[in-house]
């Protein structure tokens, strides 16, 4: 595939572990004498640091250089056997919406978003005739990023593809001063909780204090985090991705169809194999 180019959102396992298999779509060469596939990523993804180890910087086990040293090295060491591995051309980009780059003939605008409060992942905005934003891993929008893709800021998107991981809402009630521990919004991903009433499930001792866990059953949706973001950004259309097995595709798309009619923004769950024709 001569035209294949790849853009990485971040270096977590679910985003990069397929890099080793790119050789399956590259021409065969027993000496690896082929044109490498361009891979666009940030320097942090390539060489993310886990802090200091003595006077030296310790690379995080998540970093590409640690996960795939044989894909990163430029030359074989003396006596090292030639093995068929993916041939990749690492292209460092900046995770800044003011620093666009071009891949496969399209300009991409990096969209930094929080993926947990200690980590920044990237989404991307692309397209000139039709404007698309893809954000697969997000817990919170940075104000500047949201402005770039919102109707009120950078102009209305034709399509927003947005993360929504869970929909169940679990709450823990504890004695003061802890009160309620609310895990309905996942700490590293947008979620799609159905919120209305709660039924206690179990009384237990957790982390040294008595705790009642309660599970909220599907009833109605009081503007969960994902749909709040869709309303603020106001795209012409939105597709939700990254759902866990908690979702029932038909039932939850029926709910979303009602929400879409009410709010005037078509939103649906995406599915494997979905194709969306776009004139970019």
Tell how strand 238-241 and strand 267-269 pair up. Answer: parallel
Question: What DSSP state is assigned to residue 242?
Answer: -
Q: Judge whether residue 114 has pLDDT over 60.
A: yes
**Among 152, 145, 92, 156, CA closest to 122:** 145
Q: Judge whether residue 62 has pLDDT over 90.
A: no
Partners of 59 in the β-ladder: 49
Q: Judge whether residue 197 has pLDDT over 60.
A: no
Yes or no: say if 88 and 26 are a contact pair by the CB < 8 Å rule.
no
pTM assigned to the model: 0.79
Alpha helices, DSSP H, located in 63-157: 64-67, 69-72, 143-149
Distance CA 135, CA 3 (A): 23
Mean of pLDDT over the chain: 81
List pLDDT tens digits, range 6-40. 999 999 999 999 999 999 999 998 888 899 999 99
Cα-based distances in Å from 269 to 61, 62, 235, 275: 33, 29, 15, 13
Q: Judge whether residue 93 has pLDDT over 50.
A: yes
List the structure tokens of 275: 């194709």
List pLDDT tens digits, range 115-168. 999 999 999 999 999 999 999 999 999 999 999 999 999 999 999 999 998 775
Distance CA 136, CA 10 (A): 10
List pLDDT tens digits, range 148-162. 999 999 999 999 999
Residue tagged 């035209």 (tokens):
3
Tell how strand 101-103 and strand 132-135 pair up. Answer: unpaired
Question: What ranges do the domains of the chain cover?
Answer: 1-93
Distance CA 157, CA 163 (A): 16
Distance CA 215, CA 192 (A): 14
């Amino acid at each position: 595939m001569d035209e294949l180019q790849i853009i990485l959102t971040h270096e977590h396992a679910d985003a990069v572990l397929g890099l080793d298999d790119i050789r399956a779509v590259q021409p065969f060469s027993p000496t690896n004498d082929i044109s490498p596939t361009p891979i666009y990523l940030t320097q942090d993804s390539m060489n993310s640091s886990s802090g200091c180890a003595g006077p030296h910087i310790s690379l995080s086990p998540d970093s590409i250089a640690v996960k795939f040293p044989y894909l990163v090295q430029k030359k074989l060491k003396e006596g090292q056997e030639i093995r068929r591995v993916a041939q990749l051309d690492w292209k460092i980009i900046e995770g800044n919406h003011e620093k666009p780059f071009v891949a496969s003939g399209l300009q991409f605008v990096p969209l930094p978003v929080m993926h947990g409060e200690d980590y920044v992942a990237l989404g991307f905005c692309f397209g000139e005739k039709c404007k698309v934003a893809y954000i697969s891993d997000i817990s919170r929008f940075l104000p500047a990023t949201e402005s770039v893709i919102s109707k009120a800021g950078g102009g209305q998107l034709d399509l927003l593809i947005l993360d929504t991981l869970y929909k169940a809402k679990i709450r823990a009630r504890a004695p003061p001063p802890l009160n309620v521990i609310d895990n309905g919004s996942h700490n590293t991903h947008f979620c799609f909780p159905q919120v209305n009433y709660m039924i206690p499930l179990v009384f237990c001792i957790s982390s040294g204090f008595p705790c009642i866990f309660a599970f909220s059953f599907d009833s109605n949706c009081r503007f969960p985090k994902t749909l709040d973001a869709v309303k603020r950004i106001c795209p012409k259309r939105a597709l939700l991705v990254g759902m866990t097995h908690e979702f029932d595709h038909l039932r939850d798309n029926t709910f979303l169809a009602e929400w879409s009619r009410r709010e005037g923004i078509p939103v649906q769950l995406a599915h494997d194999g979905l194709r969306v024709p776009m004139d970019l």
